[in-house]
């Protein structure tokens, strides 16, 4: 039974890769500066957005990647794997910062305007470089554009505590997550994001966002069960999602708040509860409602997500980290292109389609590299060189001498 459970846990759920892939594609569109296409992403139609999708799927995937290690290999081995992943994310965070700073410098050198350093509010890094560099390395300087990776690291850092409590009882671990979330709101928790201004905090507060991360984690581990289809619950979710649209970031609110003054009142009343930084509870409820609707629409049809038509999206979802890093850099490059060629329906389509195509091709490239396609060529040449009656050429001899570790 234990082996069957472990095998099931290791099986890749197409829903995970598909929706994580969708989130990655949306994130690219959302990060291109002054992108008209971003007016039609989910964030414009409700409280939650692609960030929830990304964090929830990351929690779900983390349970698959690390949860079994804690149980089968022990607490310290599991903690070691988590810390190693945090190190990977940390180095990626530092690397992408400098890659984007380099791109901004190139933009300023090549074009008279706009000021790309100012666009990303990076003046501090150049005006007080020693202090900014130390802040960057200690995660006490986290500019807005670079904020989701530190939050993700913060959530991962809580996994050992979460798993230690789950060893006693899963409900204790989930209670810990809820307690951290409530304490963050009660005591106005937050982490410093600027060395010179104490009031500037991480835009994604990990003490708030860990709630959606560990919700995904708990569902993946089987501690939380997704409710089955219930028409009353489905109706409630649909009503909530529809009602949220006019008072969120949708153009409906902007266009009709004067003629429908109650929209402004609703918006003002819900504003504290839809805050993104501390993760307002309305965002969480909205995400759960959307997830319930989508899961029930997909339930029994999961094989459709594994169809070859969806393969590009699945591939993007399987390579979430490298794709996310490319998204951040490529979105700024897309913004530069639009700055120079102008913004209209044609140029928006050109930049978005080209960018999304590059993202998909990059995901396929990363997948190919991870499969180590060259090993097949090595094995084939080794087999030819070793075949009876064949003279071993110097090149084949050199190839056959390659060790498996190479």
CB atoms within 10 A of CB 60: 23
* Residue in the structure block whose two tokens are 């150049």: 126
Give pLDDT, residue 304.
86
pLDDT tens for the chain, 406 residues: list them. Answer: 444 444 444 456 788 899 999 999 999 999 999 999 998 888 888 899 999 999 999 999 999 999 888 989 999 999 999 999 999 999 999 999 999 999 999 999 999 888 999 999 999 999 999 999 999 999 999 998 999 999 999 999 999 999 999 999 999 999 999 999 999 999 888 899 999 998 899 999 999 999 999 999 999 999 999 888 999 999 999 999 998 887 776 566 666 666 666 677 777 777 788 889 999 999 999 999 999 999 999 988 888 888 899 999 999 999 999 999 999 999 999 999 999 999 999 999 999 999 999 999 999 999 999 887 777 777 777 776 666 655 555 444 444 444 433 3
Give pLDDT, residue 106.
96
d(CA 190, CA 207): 8
Strand partners, 201: 192
Taken in order 298, 11, 64, 30, the sign of the CA dihedral is negative
Contact 32, 63 (CB under 8 A): no
Give pLDDT, residue 406.
37
* Residue in the structure block whose two tokens are 């560990």: 214
> Which residue, 120, 126, 142, 119, is CA-closest to 195?
142
CA–CA distances in Å: residue 297 to residues 19, 24, 45, 262: 14, 21, 19, 33
Helix 206-221 to helix 170-186 angle (10° resolution) is 160
Which stretches of 299-342 are DSSP H helices?
A: 302-305, 311-318, 320-341
* Residue in the structure block whose two tokens are 């979330």: 181
Give pLDDT, residue 77.
93
Q: Is 0.75 topped by the overall pTM?
A: yes
Give pLDDT, residue 260.
66
CB atoms within 10 A of CB 29: 23
What are the residue ranges spanned by the domains of the chain?
A: 2-227+308-371, 377-406
3-state secondary structure of 386: helix
* Residue in the structure block whose two tokens are 């992943």: 85
d(CA 101, CA 80): 32
The helix (run of H) or strand (run of E) holding residue 279 is none
The contacts of residue 326 (CB under 8 Å, 6+ apart) are 358, 359, 362
Exposure on the CB side of residue 197, measured as CA atoms within 13 A: 9
Contact 249, 93 (CB under 8 A): no
The contacts of residue 134 (CB under 8 Å, 6+ apart) are 140, 141, 195
Q: Please give the structure tokens belonging to residue 39.
A: 């007016």
Give pLDDT, residue 371.
84
* Residue in the structure block whose two tokens are 């050109």: 350
Give pLDDT, residue 404.
39
Give pLDDT, residue 316.
95
Q: Please give the structure tokens belonging to residue 124.
A: 């501090």
User: What phi-psi label fits residue 329: left (phi over 0), alpha (psi between -120 and 50 degrees) or beta?
Assistant: alpha
Q: Please give the structure tokens belonging to residue 272.
A: 């504290």
């Amino acid at each position: 039974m234990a082996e069957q459970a472990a095998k099931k846990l290791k099986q890749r759920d197409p829903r995970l890769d598909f929706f994580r892939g969708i989130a990655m594609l949306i994130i690219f569109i959302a990060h291109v500066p002054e992108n008209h296409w971003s007016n039609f992403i989910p964030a414009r139609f409700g409280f939650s957005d692609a960030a929830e999708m990304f964090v929830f799927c990351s929690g779900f995937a983390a349970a698959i990647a690390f949860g079994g290690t804690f149980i089968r290999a022990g607490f310290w081995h599991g903690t070691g794997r988590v810390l190693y992943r945090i190190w990977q994310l940390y180095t990626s965070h530092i690397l992408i910062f400098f890659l984007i700073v380099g791109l901004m410098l190139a933009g300023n050198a090549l074009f008279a305007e706009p000021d790309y350093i100012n666009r990303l509010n990076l003046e501090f890094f150049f005006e007080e470089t020693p202090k900014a560099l130390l802040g960057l390395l200690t995660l006490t300087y986290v500019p807005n554009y670079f904020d989701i990776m530190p939050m993700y690291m913060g959530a991962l850092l809580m996994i050992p505590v979460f798993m230690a409590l789950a060893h006693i009882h899963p409900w204790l671990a989930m209670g810990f997550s809820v307690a951290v979330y409530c304490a963050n709101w009660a005591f106005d928790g937050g982490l410093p994001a600027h060395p010179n201004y104490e009031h500037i905090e991480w835009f994604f507060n990990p003490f708030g966002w860990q709630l959606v991360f560990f919700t995904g984690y708990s569902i993946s581990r089987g501690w939380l069960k997704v409710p089955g289809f219930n028409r009353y619950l489905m109706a409630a979710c649909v009503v909530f999602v529809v009602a949220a649209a006019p008072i969120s970031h949708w153009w409906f609110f902007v266009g009709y708040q004067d003629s429908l003054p109650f929209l402004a009142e609703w918006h003002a009343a819900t504003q504290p509860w839809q805050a993104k930084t501390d993760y307002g509870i309305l965002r969480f409820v909205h995400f759960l409602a959307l997830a319930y609707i989508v899961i029930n629409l997909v339930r029994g049809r999961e094989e459709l997500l594994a169809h070859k038509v969806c393969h590009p999206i699945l591939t993007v979802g399987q390579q979430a980290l490298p794709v996310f890093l490319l998204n951040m850099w490529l979105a700024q490059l897309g913004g530069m292109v639009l700055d120079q060629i102008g913004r209209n329906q044609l140029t928006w389509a050109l930049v978005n389609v080209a960018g999304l195509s590059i993202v998909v091709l990059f995901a396929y490239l990363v997948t190919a590299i991870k499969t180590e396609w060259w090993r097949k060529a090595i094995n084939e040449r080794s087999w030819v060189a070793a075949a009876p009656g064949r003279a071993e050429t110097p090149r084949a001899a050199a190839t056959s001498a390659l060790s498996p570790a190479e």
